Amino acid sequence: MKPAPFDYARARSVEHALELLGREGARVLAGGQSLIATLNMRLSHPSLLVDINEVAGLDRIARRNGHIEIGALVRHAQAERSAELGQAAPLVARALPHIGHPAIRNRGTVGGSIAFADPAAELPACLLALQGEVDIAGPAGKRTVKADDFFHGLFETALGACGVLTAIRVPAATSATRVGFAELARRHGDYAMVGLAAAARANGKNLTDVRLAFFGVGATPVRARNAEAALAAGDVEAAVNALGHDLDPPDDVQATGAVKKHLAGVLLRRVARQLNEAPQ
C-alpha cells in the first residue's frame, strides 16, 4: 500500500519545527522507522511531515551534572557505539542491541523511540527504570517531564500534539549502580513478547532503590512495585510471586496474558542475578 498524500517540510531549527507543527495534522518525522510504516499501512494520515533530521544540536551525547544527556536525533547505532554512553548508562547500552536489526538502528532515533512509546519497546522501559527525564519544546516553551509522568497510555505521552522531544537524560552510573536487562522475543530483532529493564543501588550485600520496568505487558512500561520491595528484601522467589499482583498483561498476537506473566517471572530470576553482580 502507498501512504495517503501529505506535505513535507524540513525544519531548520526547533523553533521552526514548532511553527510548522502548528498546522492541523502535522507530525514530526525523525528516523521514520515507525512512522513511515504506519503511513504505508494507512494507520495514520498526517497532513504534513515536519522533518527534524537537519535540526542542529539534537544528535549529541553529553555528560553533565551527574547525568548523561542523549539528544533526540541520536541514532540507536550511534548510541550503541558510544563508549561514554556505555560507561554512564550501561542499562541503555545493554538494551540497544535488542532494537530491531542493524538497518533499523542506523536510522531509528532515541527520541523517536521514546516519543512513539511502543509498549513493547526497550528504551521507554530503560528510561523508567533509570528515573530518567524527557526535555520537551512546545508552543508554550520548554519543560522537563519525569519518566514516571511521561507515559500516559497506549502510544500516548506527555508530549502532546505539537511538542518536540529534544533530549532525554538519565543519572550517570556510579560504582554502586546495578542494572539488569532481559527480554524474550520469538526471533532476535523482533519486538519482545515480554522484557524487563531494571536498576538498583548496591548497599553492601543488599540492593536498595530497586526499579523494575517491564515492557510488552501493558499499554505502557509497567513498574512492578511489590516485586521491587521483595527484591530489596533479598527474596527473589517472593518477588516472582509478587508479579501476580503487579502485572496483568492482556492477551496479544504473541502470547496469552498467562504466558506473559509466566515469562515475566523467568526474566525476573535472570535479571535478579544480574543486579547482584558487581560491574566488571
User: What is the contact surface with ligand FAD in residues (CB under 6 A)?
Assistant: 27-35, 37, 52, 72, 99-100, 104, 108-109, 111-113, 115-116, 118, 121-123, 159, 163-165, 191
**Minimum CB distance to ligand FAD, residue 252 (Å):** 15
As a whole number of angstroms, the distance between CA 71 and CA 48 comes to: 23
Beta bridge partners of 153: 156
**Minimum CB distance to ligand FAD, residue 6 (Å):** 12
CB nearer to ligand FAD: give 170 or 200: 170
CB nearer to ligand FAD: give 165 or 199: 165
CB nearer to ligand FAD: give 71 or 180: 71
Using an 8 Å Cβ cutoff, are 242 and 226 in contact?
Answer: yes
**Minimum CB distance to ligand FAD, residue 5 (Å):** 18
**Minimum CB distance to ligand FAD, residue 109 (Å):** 3
**Minimum CB distance to ligand FAD, residue 91 (Å):** 14
CB nearer to ligand FAD: give 35 or 202: 35
Longest dimension (CA), the chain: 60
- Label each residue of the chain as H, E or C: CCCCCCEEEECCCHHHHHHHHCCCCEEEECCCCCHHHHHHCCCCCCCEEEECCCCCCCCCEEEECCEEEEECCCEHHHHHHCHHHHHHCHHHHHHHHHCCCHHHHHHCEHHHHHHHCCCCCHHHHHHHHCCCEEEEEECCEEEEEEHHHHEEECCEECCCCCCEEEEEEEECCCCCEEEEEEEECCCCCCCCCEEEEEEEEEECCEEEEEEEEEECCCCCCEECHHHHHHHHCCCHHHHHHHHHHHCCCCCCCCCCHHHHHHHHHHHHHHHHHHHCCCCC
CB nearer to ligand FAD: give 121 or 230: 121
CB nearer to ligand FAD: give 34 or 177: 34
**Minimum CB distance to ligand FAD, residue 262 (Å):** 21
CB nearer to ligand FAD: give 85 or 230: 85
**Minimum CB distance to ligand FAD, residue 25 (Å):** 12
